[in-house]
Amino acid sequence: MIPPHRQRFSLTTSYNKPTRLSTKRKRKDEIALSVLCCNRARRCMTQMSNRTHQTTTEGQFLRHWQAEIIRQRELHWGPVADDAARRMAATCSNPDDKLLTRAARLCHDLALDNDIQRYRRLLALALSLLALLAVISGITLASSISPQHARTISLLDAMIALLLINTLLMIAWAAGILIRGKPGGIGAWVLHYLPGVVRSPSLLPIMQAHTSLALHQGLMRPTLSAVTHGFWLLLLATTFVTLVIRFIGFDYQFVWRTTLLSETNVATLVDVLHIVPGLFAFEQPLVTFGATGDAASQRAIAIWLLACLFFYAIVPRALLFIGCDLYRRYRLAHLKVNWQLAGFSELREQLANVPSADTDTSDNSIKVLPTQTTHHHSVINSDPAWFTLEWPANEAPETPLAELPITPLGNVSSREERQQLLTGSARHPRQIIAAINPDLTPDRGSLRLLAEISSHCPLALFVPQGGRTQLWRDSLDEHLKLPVLQNKEEAEAWLRTL
């Protein structure tokens, strides 16, 4: 007879009629497996919630950053074509979510996401270089206090270099916060010289929006303070580790040397500094001028000096860094849209009036924006017009458009002329033909201008033969999907379409 505990492994066991014992064991196994799965699921959910909270905080800042970029862009360049972005924003019920969704869509349509990522990588590089500078400075400070060629260390010099300078810098930082309301230190220095490093014209608006958002949301002070305290914390920690390594590898003699202070003054200073290390049972050194002492006393002095560095320099910096970083995280978790800012106040009512029922929220970018815009006959109430884009002033455009009965708008090359053209096409929609200079390269700014014009009124393009004609036609066909006219007859036929 097969024992009950081996029946489930036997080939001769009948599974159609299990015994009572095997059924109980099976139920216990199922319960244990369920408990194990629940525990694992709980741990996974905890880890995912922590990651989600961090990602959500960073994602919220990115969304507000995109909104600030679009706000400043529209203040300087005028409204952006946002039909698709508004339709996507209409799916949100909260006004803040509508604004942020619209901004995220426009940043994607205007290809600003790549610039944002580039600027974030530049910030990460700047912080990495700053951390490297802190490590090198810490090693240099420790080497200056304990040089290899001189085995004698002046304790007063060491305390001034390790404790006094750091204390004065923390007092100066606190005074700057309380008196001026602005943080100083390394963080403010980095912020001051960062615009000189950002030489790309496309990154300057991104940086300005980043700085403006930090100021409006109260993030500038805790962020710069955290950078400052993090720099000094890393520097002091590197100094501490380097001194420990040197005290282990070399035999140093500690002496008390001073010209102005008496032995009583130095003893009083040592008594004050020993208050905190004394709470942790560190031995207080004896103040004796001109004497070096035995090996045990030298070892005690080295440990006491490291304890003072830890308690009076590293711990305060660490507490300040943690406090500033926690406050920064708190501000990040409570970001809000400031509707009083210019550009946001006008959008609130406009976004509230966007219909949200049965709208098309398909993922179409600005590249196909002209095909989404429907221009009704009642809207096109002005005569057709044409203009030349980036045409040299000393060359006459080789185009038959001058022979057509349409209004010439002149050559568009400067920023002011582009803005005037955008404003005019938005206020007075009309059929417009753009004559492209074939000697130019189809850059993103020109394509963006054409896309914004096409969002306000019907637009066709005329690219003469020569130069980079084929490159222009391929780029226009890929990005804009606008009609490209070849001759006068096609232009006349297109003008008769409306």
Q: Provide the 10 A C-beta neighbour count for residue 493.
A: 11
Q: Which of 35-39, 161-165, 332-336 has the lowest mean pLDDT?
A: 35-39
Total of domains in the chain: 2
One-character DSSP codes across 41-92: HHHHHHHHHHHHHHHHHHHHHHHHHHHHHHHHHHHHH-PPP-HHHHHHHTT-
CB 229 within 8 A of CB 314: no
* Contact present, 168 and 159 (Cβ < 8 Å): no
In a domain, 176, yes or no: yes
What global pTM score does this model have? 0.60
Residue 8 scores a pLDDT above 70: no
Across 66-92, average pLDDT:
82
Q: Span 481-494, mean pLDDT? A: 79
Asked whether residue 430 is assigned to any structural domain, the reply reads yes
Question: Which residues, 6+ apart, have CB-to-CB distance to 364 below 8 Å?
Answer: 84, 372
Task: Kindly provide the residue ranges of all beta strands, DSSP E only, lying in 158-305, ordered along the sequence.
Answer: 253-255
Q: What is the mean pLDDT of residues 111-129?
A: 91
457, 431 Cβ separation under 8 angstroms: yes
Residue 263 and residue 412 in one domain: no
Same domain, 324 and 435: no
Report pLDDT digits (tens) over 156-165: 899 999 999 9
403: containing domain: 366-495
Average pLDDT of the segment spanning 30-38: 52
Query: Does a structural domain hold residue 37?
Result: no
In a domain, 51, yes or no: no
Q: Quote the tokens at residue 416.
A: 């002011």
Domain boundary among the residues 291, 312, 333 is at 333
Last-in-domain residue among 286, 316, 333: 333
323 and 377 in a common domain: no
- Please state, in angstroms and rounded to a whole number, the distance separating the CA atoms of residues 352 and 334: 23
Residue at 55 is within a domain: no
The gap between the terminal CA atoms of the chain, to the nearest Å, is: 96
Same domain, 317 and 171: yes
- Round to whole Å and give the CA distance between 232 and 184: 13
Q: Is the pLDDT of residue 32 over 90?
A: no
The answer to whether residue 350 sits within a structural domain is no
| Residue 439 binned pLDDT confidence (cut-offs 50, 70, 90) | confident
Residues 304 and 423 in one domain: no
Is the domain of 289 the same as that of 409?
no
The residues with which 345 forms a beta bridge, in sequence order, are none
| CA angle (468 as vertex; 77, 112 as ends), nearest 5 | 30
In the sheet with 484-485, reading across from the earlier edge strand, the strands are 407-412, 385-389, 432-436, 459-462, 484-485
The reply to whether 253 and 389 lie within a common domain is no
Residue 354 lies inside a defined structural domain of this protein: no
- Whether 128 and 268 map to the same domain: the answer is yes
Q: What is the pLDDT of residues 192-245, one digit of tens each?
A: 666 666 666 778 888 888 888 888 888 888 998 999 999 999 999 999 999 999
Q: What is the pLDDT of residue 372?
A: 37
Task: Give the mean model confidence (pLDDT) for residues 85-100.
Answer: 84
Q: Are 490 and 384 found together in one domain?
A: yes
Which range, 4-13, 72-81, 108-117, 394-403, is most confident?
108-117
In which residue are the tokens 């308690």 written?
311
- Domain membership flag for residue 481: yes
Q: Are residues 318 and 389 in the same domain?
A: no
Give the pLDDT of residue 360.
Answer: 42
Hey, which of 310-314, 380-384, 387-391 has the most confident mean pLDDT?
310-314
**Looking at residue 285, what DSSP letter applies?**
P
Task: In whole angstroms, give the CA distance from residue 488 to residue 491.
Answer: 5
Ranking 74-78, 177-181, 263-267, 432-436 by mean pLDDT, the lowest is 177-181
241 & 380 share domain: no
The secondary structure of 440-470, three-state, reads: CCCCHHHHHHHHHHHHHCCEEEECCCCCCHH
CA dist 29 and 18 (Å) reads 15
| Whether residues 230 and 278 fall in one domain | yes
